[in-house]
Chain A
Amino acid sequence: MTAFRTLAAIIGLCLVTAIGFVAIAWRSPIAPVPPPNTASFDRELLRRGAQLAAAGDCNACHTAPGGRAFAGGRALPTPFGTIYSTNITPDPDTGIGQWPEEAFRRALAEGVDREGRQLYPAFPYDHFTLLTQEDVSALYAFFMTREMVTATAPENEISFPLNVRMLLAGWKLFFFRQGPYQPDAAQSAEWNRGAYLSEGLAHCGACHTPRNRLGAEKASERYGGGEIEGWNAYALNEASPAPVPWDTESLRLYLKNGWHDAHGVARGPMAAVVDNLATTPDADIKAIATYVASIAGPVSAERQQAAEALVAAARNPAGKSASGTETSGEHIFHATCAGCHESERPLPFGGVNLILSTGPSGPNPHNILNVVLWGLPPADGARSPIMPGFAASLSDQQIAALLSYVRARFSDKPAWPDLEKKVREARNAGRPDTVYPAHGIDPAEAMLNRGEGP
């Protein structure tokens, strides 16, 4: 009897939980509408939408390498399997052409698609939820006026039980707080604007904050450095490994131009981000820089001094000849790297002096490895740094020797352990498409953007 009752109670509880869960998880579809007339949108709204879409880096995930803009199909590796981005062009059948604005809004704010399905947080609605109504409207207008592309993304490669989308509702219970953004009255308007953009649309934390085992950003380690597509998104908080500490001004220039002379050029997935930010209004970039700089807090006098010494050393051409230990790593460095990285070629197109680069000082060699293996591909028809990849010419052991030399010479950090194994892993992961070409870093083109051009 007791046993029966207990069982009944358990079953009952389960049922209630299940029903309750389904009640939460089940979302009703929103009826499709015919694609809106593109002429119906206000031009100013469209212009803002374009800027916002750029700040949101939407094209980076929603465009397959070599594919049509926003037509989806890009593979996004996650610890749980590969997710393919969807087509967000206004194609009525394969894109979002039949989505009313309300459905678009719900996807951004709640992570639920038009048909009521729960969305994976690879689509960072945990950030987009902070967006204001007006910004969502502008984005909607922008996407509804893109060129229609008929394209269906491949099926996600996620195994049971994670492929049961309903379960995402449970994930949301723990890790998702719906917006919109609540300003911090103690901070300046600029800071708040920066926080709104960085935390929301630009979703900086999606890459720069480490994630827990369930794939949610760790609240306790905000901006402590994360990983994306096999790249380090370096820590932006006080743990930042940048040899020269970032401040508002250097961040502003870096985000605006895609490079900074004391840090080098954005690469990996960040290259796409800065490419997009080139069209973001200066005030917004400044706001983002202000907010992000505040995450790390003020720089100690000591660190500042060390940084200045590094910059001075980097500028001294005579200091560029190597130490002369004549290891194979050094030989390789001379023949393969020195021509650009120890030359007079200025940034952003010349090689950065590696004393200033975060790569050799990083917590692990992922980024420098990706660059050494796959290089930086040329942007088509635009000025951009070009670095050849060395995957074909250097063995794991040779790359390991090179990186040990680089680490020893250009950072004050201890040697990276298991380097050869890491080279092998990165090589096997084989994602040369994660080194995005940088289209937007030409200073002359930046002038064109601001209407100052020739």
Chain B
Amino acid sequence: MTSALVTRRSVLAGTGALVVSFSSISRALTQTLDTGQREKPPLPGSLKENPFLDSWIRIEADGRITIFTGKAELGQGIKTALLQVAAEQLDVPLASLKLITADTSQTANEGFTAGSHSMQDSGTAILHAAAQARAILVVEAAKRLGVTEETLKTKSGAVIAADGRKLGYGELVSENFLHLEAQPQSPLKDPASFTVMGKSTPRVDIPAKVTGGAAYVQDMRLPGMVHARVVRPPSYSASLTNVDTAGAEKLPGVIKILRDGNFLAVVAEREFQAIKAMRALSAAAQWAQKPSLPKQSELPATVMALPSQDTAIIDRRQEGIVAAKKLEATCTRPYQAHGSIGPSCAVAVWNEESMTIWTHTQGVYPDRQAIAQMLRLPPEKVRCIHVEGSGCYGHNGADDAAADAALIARSLPGRPVRVQWMREQEHAWEPFGPAMVTKVSAALDEAGDIADWDYAVWSNTHSTRPGGAGSLLAAQHMAEPFALPAPKPIPQPEGGGDRNAIPLYHLPSARVMHHFLPAMPVRVSALRSLGAYMNVFSIESFMDELAEAAGRDPVEFRLKHLDDVRARDVVMLASERFGWDSFQRRLGRGCGFAFARYKNLAAYCAIAAEVEVERETGRARLVRAVAAVDSGQTVNPDGVINQVEGAILQSASWTLYESVGFDDTRITSIDWSTYPILRFDAVPASVDVHIIDRPGQPFLGTGETGQGPAAAAIANAVANATGKRFRDLPLTRQRIKNVIGV
């Protein structure tokens, strides 16, 4: 093989960009030559949209290396995992790397940090960019040292020759060194040689978080910063008829009261002054409201009665199936909240006709576009910088708080404005995970196998994320409001309400209907795992019912219908580690099992759960859970375990306790009294997560794989413990007691 071939095919006039095709050390070269005349295969991960290597990696002459990602740290540990990937492929110590996350003036546009996509999109991009950058460095070093690439090694940020000569990466770079378009193929390191990837690595963000370091947007203190509070309307339907601001204006420290239609806010020098002024303003505000919400007690019926757009997402039902047994079930899920522990917050400053916003949004670019539209500014005039907030679990109030801050800051040029939402504002105004209904019926054949499957899900959209100003509360409340864009279903294969509505099981005859409901009586959007939570709960609960009807063990029944080897592996591992076969059911104690592959294309997860149900009170408690996960190539095993543990506990909380309350006019779940979640007294005795690592396989993402299986495993365990099936979420003590009480 010849030495590296760096062909400068062309220099694009005007941009100065070099489009370079390079190859090195083996595979890539042949590939490039082979595909020279044909159409290039797509670039991996987010390189597709952002192909330049220096969108991801920049190396300074002094050897400092900065990694860029358009994704944001949400507490999922993505910073650490991305740094591991870069460190591994670049052969540099992780601690020497700097990472810049989502910032519209520095990083690539990677849309939202959502859907367990960060490793797939950004992780994959950085993996390949780093590998290619390393190859380019080697090529450059070979040239300078006058040796062939094969004789060179990379280590700790330097290229080392066989004779010991050494060139630091910094010495090798020149201006625009990595301003090259990535190639489809990369000289990736052999997973067997990994020293960083695949090894549990302490998260880079944790030390500051446990010692009081500045870690969150809430912690920002800019010179001259003032504190704002918004007085949100008492309900969706409310409009501000009158407000006497005189009292609040006179309060100490008050700088400004801003009213724009139904948008009402106050700014003060000090934070508690702003709170007191907000209370006074709130007491002085008069609102006209009308009952606009459905009856909570009739929620499932209301959901089913909404006009729907129906799509068969699979339709291969066969006629004339002979069924030995037929079963059917209807499951319901209420609206559920993200309920971040820290209410949303943002800081914005309006300086010389441009707006800078520090926000914990999941999407700096979409947020920028929406806020620019709201302020009627060109997007270049708005910069959104991601700073961590409290865990978000989807589309919570972050974008709205950013819009609030921007709107208020524009009225106070030069002064940074910090807007902190109050607890009740976060609860009442965040977009909830939608209420859903599912119906399933199935037939078993003589052998006890599934012969026919008919499933339907009714749901609102699972994303009303900023796709325009109309998604933002402030923009909806302004005197010249922006309308909420018409909701659209998220198409398969990922799906929204129909995410994971298609079982991964082998089904000879099946139909799955998605009834998409455009009308949204309650504000909704993306909540961690979207429809997968409810669909997996429904499907996996029903699988247990079918297994029982077939007289078969639930795990064995699932395996019987699973062809995918990786799926079978997680199922077998979870059941083995749980001790499924030897579990002794006792009065009030039961076990349950569930499995899903998130979105049918991301991580595989199987969970076995043990549950205790107290008969007198109906209280169900998760005692123990064992999970097996396959998320492809594992980067940070402890990070994966942390995510899945979290998913199980959060899902246990959703499943056992959570529902958003409302009356005919307003949301009544406005704090932790009215929206109870898991507390320490109900924390299980143990949660074990086992990883099946697949070195060299694509990253599958982990953050959202556990919610659905955890819910179903718990519900199945409750059914096992009580002998009764509960199909309406959440499985509250009252619901259980009503059935098993006497």
Contacts and interface: CB of A to CB of B under 8 A. Distances in A.
B424 A454 contact: no
A234 to B, nearest CB: 24
A346 interface: yes
B284 interface: yes
A439 B733 contact: yes
Contact of B297 (A47, A49, A379, A453): A453
B679 interface: yes
Interface centre among A320, A338, A439, A444 (most CB of B within 10 A): A444
A43 interface: yes
A449 B300 CA distance: 18
A321 interface: yes
B674 A383 contact: yes
Interface stretch (B443-451, B592-600, B653-661): B653-661
A445 interface: yes
A349 interface: yes
Contact of A378 (B334, B424, B672): B672
Contacts of A448: 732, 734-735, 738
Interface centre among B284, B661, B741, B742 (most CB of A within 10 A): B742
B615 A380 contact: no
Interface in B713-742: 728, 732-735, 738, 741-742
Nearest to B615: A147
Contact of A381 (B299, B668, B682, B742): B682
Contacts of A320: 283
Given A380-B681, A383-B676, A43 B742 contact: yes
Nearest to A142: B742
A378 B297 contact: no
Interface centre among B424, B676, B728, B741 (most CB of A within 10 A): B676
A381 B280 contact: no
B587 interface: yes
A386 B670 CA distance: 12
A317 B679 CA distance: 33
A381 B619 contact: yes
A448 B588 CA distance: 22
Contacts of A442: 661, 734
A50 B617 contact: no
A184 interface: no
Nearest to B734: A445
A378 B681 CA distance: 11
A454 B673 contact: no
Size class of the contact patch on chain A: 35 or more
B254 to A, nearest CB: 15
Contacts of B280: 321
Nearest to B275: A339
A386 B588 CA distance: 29
Contacts of B728: 454
A318 B284 contact: yes
A344 B673 CA distance: 14
Contact of B676 (A46, A49, A69, A378): A378
Interface string A339-366: 0001111100110000000000000000
A198 interface: no
A442 B678 CA distance: 17
Say whether chain A's binding surface is mostly helix, strand, loop, or mixed: loop
Contacts of A306: none
B621 to A, nearest CB: 9
A59 interface: yes
B673 A59 contact: no
B116 interface: no
Interface centre among A70, A378, A382, A454 (most CB of B within 10 A): A454
B298 interface: yes
A93 B234 CA distance: 58
A50 B679 contact: no
Interface residues of B, number: 45
A384 interface: yes
Given A382-B734, A444-B296, A454-B299, A345 B616 contact: no
Given A50-B742, A147-B587, A386 B297 contact: no
A384 B675 CA distance: 9
B733 A344 contact: no
A147 B283 contact: no
Nearest to B616: A69
A447 interface: yes
Contact of A454 (B279, B283, B332): B332
Contact of A59 (B282, B616, B656): B616
Given A380-B682, A381-B619, A444 B661 contact: yes
A448 B296 CA distance: 11
A146 B616 contact: yes
Given A321-B283, A448-B735, A454-B296, A349 B616 contact: no
Given A70-B616, A349-B673, A444 B297 contact: yes
A269 B260 CA distance: 49
Contacts of A49: 742
Contacts of A56: none
B676 A384 contact: yes
A220 to B, nearest CB: 39
A345 B670 contact: yes
Contacts of B661: 383, 442, 444
Contacts of A50: 741-742
A354 to B, nearest CB: 16
A302 to B, nearest CB: 30
Nearest to B682: A380
Nearest to A278: B734
Given A147-B588, A444-B297, A386 B732 contact: no
A336 B295 CA distance: 35
B87 to A, nearest CB: 43
A454 B282 contact: no
A382 B734 CA distance: 9
B614 interface: yes
Given A147-B615, A321-B280, A452-B297, 14 more contacts: A46-B742, A47-B742, A68-B614, A147-B616, A317-B282, A338-B279, A345-B671, A378-B673, A378-B676, A380-B619, A381-B619, A451-B738, A454-B296, A454-B300
9 contacts: A46-B742, A59-B616, A345-B424, A382-B732, A385-B673, A445-B734, A449-B734, A453-B735, A454-B296
Pairs A-B, 7 closest by C-beta atoms: A69-B616, A381-B657, A317-B283, A349-B673, A445-B734, A386-B673, A349-B674
